[in-house]
Chains A and B, each alone.
Chain A
Amino acid sequence: AQSVTQLDSHVSVSEGTPVLLRCNYSSSYSPSLFWYVQHPNKGLQLLLKYTSAATLVKGINGFEAEFKKSETSFHLTKPSAHMSDAAEYFCVVRGATGTASKLTFGTGTRLQVTL
């Protein structure tokens, strides 16, 4: 079984300050982990993914995430927030090859960016 917990339902930052969106996972095997972003009334866009290679993963738009097995975490960070980053962010874990068609989503973190 697999699960994902996004620790904050809402995060508010000022433009130009760092962003931290927290995600913990539970999985009985080596997981693949993803972060997706969803802007209002839009579809899902892949930010980055971890697939058991480098533990520090760089994604689009300056985002990165670090896989920490000992802490079962996959937190998303960005050094400097931009107004366009305001959106909802989902942490996602994917099953092993035999169940790789199944994704388990966190409940989402809404990022607000203020001037």
Chain B
Amino acid sequence: NAGVTQTPKFQVLKTGQSMTLQCAQDMNHEYMSWYRQDPGMGLRLIHYSVGAGITDQGEVPNGYNVSRSTTEDFPLRLLSAAPSQTSVYFCASSNRGSSGNTIYFGEGSWLTVV
């Protein structure tokens, strides 16, 4: 039972490069989302999805792109990396329905943009 799997765990990018953070879950969850964590700011929502083919913006979407072609996968794309995107990124998933459903997080991806 893998849960939520994020790759890569660590990445260093140069300014202007693009990359994709991968997120996959094997629990058939409808809801998936991406958060970034910065010191003193908690986690902030970047993008989220309520099902395959449906995505929407969160609190801090600029500079990021997402798609949801399958239930299992929800990749996060950095179009042109900037130092301000240096952060720890977390993917999360849960079942739809009750807001009390448990939310599962990946282990995180540490990204540094130089």
Contacts and interface: CB of A to CB of B under 8 A. Distances in A.
Contact of A102 (B58, B100, B105, B106): B58
A56 B85 CA distance: 39
Interface in A25-61: 31-32, 34, 36, 42-44, 46, 49-52
A44 B90 contact: yes
A53 to B, nearest CB: 8
A101 B100 contact: no
Interface residues of A, number: 27
A63 interface: no
Interface in B70-99: 90, 92, 94, 96-99
Interface residues of B, number: 29
A46 B3 CA distance: 14
A29 B102 CA distance: 19
Interface string B19-41: 00000000000011101000011
A100 B101 contact: yes
Given A100-B98, A101-B31, A101-B48, A107 B103 contact: no
A65 B33 CA distance: 26
A19 to B, nearest CB: 19
B42 interface: yes
B98 A97 contact: yes
A51 B98 contact: yes
A43 B23 CA distance: 14
Contacts of A44: 90, 105
A94 B99 contact: yes
B43 interface: yes
A20 interface: no
Interface of A: 9, 31-32, 34, 36, 42-44, 46, 49-52, 90, 94-97, 100-108
Interface of B: 31-33, 35, 40-45, 48-50, 58, 90, 92, 94, 96-103, 105-108
18 contacts: A34-B103, A43-B90, A43-B105, A43-B106, A43-B107, A46-B102, A49-B100, A52-B100, A97-B99, A100-B31, A101-B94, A103-B35, A103-B43, A103-B92, A106-B42, A107-B41, A108-B40, A108-B42
